[in-house]
Amino acid sequence: MSDYRRLRERYLRDGLPTRLGGIAANLARITSFSDNELHGDLVESLVGESKFLIEWTAADADIDTAAELVELQVQLARWQHNWERIWSDPAQRQLVARQAHDWSERVLERSGLLLS
């Protein structure tokens, strides 16, 4: 858990737009790594890390963004709970990849980084 403490300290140095961009980047990684069944452990760790990033970010976001982040965090928890079944089924893996892509786009849009 000390690794997460260091990650949190580093992560919280960034402004809200950059933190939201980091969440979007993790979700994009989930999308890209989901095409290979050998990346299951990596993708699962990205899912878990993303939940932490959301926890550390939502409190600083406006209410609508925070609500959307909580919705995403619940989705990530569902994926974790059903991970073995999801990862062993190529169709389910593909669904996770599509959903992660959609979430990545939504979070990136909320970040405002695309407007810069």
Q: Would you write out the chain's pLDDT as a tens digit for each of its 116 residues? A: 458 889 899 999 999 999 999 999 999 999 999 999 999 999 999 999 999 999 999 999 999 999 999 999 999 999 999 999 999 999 999 999 999 999 999 999 999 998 85
Give the whole-angstrom CA distance, residue 96 versus residue 93: 5
Residue 22, CA atoms < 13 Å, CB-side half-sphere:
22
Give the whole-angstrom CA distance, residue 11 versus residue 39: 25
pTM above 0.85, yes or no: yes
Give the whole-angstrom CA distance, residue 68 versus residue 79: 17
pLDDT of residue 46: 97
